[in-house]
Amino acid sequence: MKVLITGAAGFIGYHLGTRLLQRGNQVVGLDNVNDYYDVSLKEARLQRLQKNRKFRFVRLDLANRDGVMALFRAEKFDRVVNLAAQAGVRYSLENPQAYVDANLVGFTNVLEGCRHSQVRHLVFASSSSVYGLNTNMPFSVHDNVDHPISLYAASKKANELMAHTYAHLFNLPCTGLRFFTVYGPWGRPDMALFLFTKAILEGRPIRVFNHGNMLRDFTYIDDIVEGVVRVLDRTPVANPDWSGARPDPGSSPAPFRIYNIGNNQPVRLMDFIAAIEQKLGRTAEKEMLPMQPGDVAATYANVDDLIRDVDFHPRTSIEEGIGRFIEWYRDYYGA
């Protein structure tokens, strides 16, 4: 099986690529290797992937329509996992155009590539951010998500709508995955675990938003990848019980599904910080700050549908996951 992973130099893309290569798939990794965060970290991930002869890297921006279409025509992918996106909630307040280019224009080009080359299954990254002002916990894919509070979240909701349209019009099987706060080795430097670890080791204060009154459904990368692989192998089919009189947002009369993919065990931010302190053997100096625009106070994934359909069961405790990240961080940065 030949799989295209967009965003292959990214955190989740790197780990997914590694897993697919281990099981013998051919993997083409696409990434524009932009400078949203440390390019050397992205290059280091790619170097590890490129050691496998079944991996080929293509440096390309998804917004390049001609380049994307040429790649799809040449490669004849069996399945596609779209992880490429402009990430970050707070950054979307500063640079909205980047989200339009990557998350809307780029995703349109992926959909067109899949449509015209008969890709058998498109799996794409959505986000827990789509729940926005929804406070009904745990978040369910069967709930309405029409009130996003950041452009990043709005772009991810748009991706879900765009994919559904292609599933309906062109019978393109599409599965959207709403990721919940993924963490682990090789993680993004703009995420809390990386920022906290770096600051504590350097003796600098950590910035704790909403005065620490946050809940996050932190999900370890290995559990995420296991879920993505299981979903990739299960092509969605139409829901015969779907009714336009009582429309279910999580399924469709088209070959389309949306799933939450999270740990299903939200953790208090202050407990998360305490676990980092314990693993580092150091106490953090904390700068308590108000809630940031675009952030939500809590995330909590209902993963019942994913359990039912692919037997998804996260297995990594927060203490174990943080320990593995810190071990990687100390080794990689010599800290």
Mind listing the pLDDT tens digit for each residue in 284-325?
999 999 998 888 889 999 999 999 999 999 999 999 999 999
What pLDDT is recorded for position 88? 77
pTM: 0.95
Residue 240 confidence class, pLDDT cut points 50, 70, 90? very high
Q: What letter represents residue 186's amino acid? A: W
Residue 126 confidence class, pLDDT cut points 50, 70, 90? very high
CA 162, 163, 166 angle in degrees (round to 5)?
90
What pLDDT is recorded for position 145? 95
What average pLDDT does the chain have?
95
State mean pLDDT over 108-128.
Answer: 97
Decide: residue 250, CB within 10 A, 0-12 exposed, 13-18 middle, 19+ buried: middle
Scan for tokens 């799989």, then name that residue. 3
State mean pLDDT over 88-96.
Answer: 80
**Which residue among the candidates 14, 36, 131, 152 is catalytic per the annotation?**
152
Backbone φ/ψ region at 183: left (φ over 0), alpha (ψ -120 to 50), beta: beta
CA distance 259 to 301: 10
Phi then psi for residue 89, to 5 deg, are -75, -50
- Judge whether 134 and 144 are in contact, CB under 8 Å: yes
| Residue 111, CA distances (Å) to 80, 81, 104 in order | 10, 11, 11
**Element (H or E) spanning 4, and its range?**
strand 2-6
What pLDDT is recorded for position 292? 87
**Which of 85, 217, 216, 91 lies closest to 155 in space, CA to CA?**
85
Please tell me whether residue 229 adopts helix, strand or coil conformation: helix
Rg (CA), the chain: 19
pLDDT at residue 335 greater than cutoff 90? no
Q: What letter represents residue 52's amino acid? A: N
Structure tokens at 115: 């449509």
**Which of 270, 284, 121, 323 lies closest to 202 in space, CA to CA?**
284
Residue 91 known to be catalytic: no
